[in-house]
Amino acid sequence: MKKSLKRSLFGVSALAMTVAAGCGQDEAESGDADQQDSGDTQETEQEEAVDQDPGELVVYSARNETFVDALLNKYEEDTGVEVQALHGANPLQIEEEAGNVQADVFISNDLGALGYLERQDLLEGYDFDGIDSIPEDFRSDDNEYFAVSARARGFIYNKDMISEDEMPTSSEDLFDPKWADVPNGYAVTRGGNGGMTGHVSALRHEWGDEKTSEWVESIQENAAAITQGHSDIRRLVGQGEHAFGLVNNYYFHQQLLEEEDNVGFLYLDQGEDQMGTVANAAGAGLVSGAPNEENAIGFMEWLLEPENQVEFVGESLELLINSEYGVEYPEEVEPHIVDFDDLKVQDMPITELGNYFEDTQDLIEQSGLDLDLR
């Protein structure tokens, strides 16, 4: 029972004793007592309303605004907590605001960014209810962050322009300048895109910095287009502006819902002697010193509920890590869904990406690929 409610009951009891002692007083005094009792009740109700105010939650997100808004709208409806969202956030903003923390939760489409923040002690660990539903490979040791959905890298291609047999099959293939000569060339994203940063980090782990830097130089020189994001690539390839592009798999899924849907997809490095596709994941982290810590913890635990893990995937059409929770994909997409466990994936824990994040962005810039479009 809330403290304000206890005070109210004490006031009502005292009032009753006073009325009993002065039962011989006139009706006017009785009426005054009724009015006082009514006033006390209204005051109690106001106090309870204040006590029950669910407060707010500040979310910084580097994930597509459309996908995140649907998730946060559901959270507001389920809990009554008012969400303030900053979209297009950069993990370095969390670092810059460490002395004056603004965010409660950081949502990222790159586990490397979350891992970087954890290494800088900018995320807080907590024993969340439901955390055991997330495999250990997809969460940090002390649960400062966890992933909900996974994606893998590959080539989306226009079937009218190039056949599957004519396509490159690995990251290493892009060293060859011949791919610049395919019809209308190929497309990649800017270096600061989360998917590209994670990809280069994975190559650094696999090849070392020197070879990886040469790879970045090659794609910068040979790509016909360098775009802001993967959505641009899928549309350009679907429209026949380029023969193929390097993207995360769920952008292929999204393109299947467009009018220009004559596209295919090749997961990278699936051959016997190849390293396996580069994988990454999207998830959330609890910001250290969160101004609304109770709601931040509540949000993280809410997100771990099965139906909300499904909501996290939403229209992105990513792969849900816990596929048994039953994401429903459109009929055009369903036949093309490949379970994450059925892919040959690079032999590197995804949580290792955080160890490379900061230096990777430096390497990308030094190799000539701009982090942002100029």
Mean pLDDT of the chain: 88
**pLDDT tens digits, 183-235:** 999 999 999 998 999 999 999 999 999 999 999 999 999 999 999 999 999 99
Residue ranges of the annotated binding site are: 250-251
The correct CATH number of 56-149+281-337 out of 3.30.70.2470, 3.40.190.10, 3.40.710.10, 3.40.50.740 is: 3.40.190.10
Confidence of residue 52 (pLDDT cuts 50, 70, 90): confident
The upper half-sphere exposure of residue 8, i.e. CA atoms within 13 Å in the direction of its Cβ, equals 17
Angle between helices 27-51 and 3-21 in degrees, nearest 10: 170
CB 207 within 8 A of CB 274: no
The correct CATH number of 152-279+342-366 out of 3.90.320.10, 1.10.30.50, 3.40.190.10, 3.40.718.10 is: 3.40.190.10
Calculate mean pLDDT across residues 242-249.
Answer: 98
Length of the chain: 374
Give the Cα separation of 252 and 290 in Å (integer): 37
Local structure of 110: helix, strand or coil: coil
Instruction: Say what the pLDDT of residue 149 is.
Output: 96
**pLDDT tens digits, 113-131:** 999 999 999 999 999 999 9
Residue ranges of the annotated binding site for Fe cation are: 250-251
**Domain residue extents for the chain:** 56-149+281-337, 152-279+342-366
Q: How far is CA 181 from CA 186, 196, 238, 240, in A?
A: 9, 22, 19, 15
pTM: 0.81
Calculate mean pLDDT across residues 80-104.
Answer: 95
CATH topology match: 56-149+281-337 vs 152-279+342-366: yes
**pLDDT tens digits, 322-372:** 989 989 999 999 999 998 889 999 999 899 999 999 899 999 999 999 999
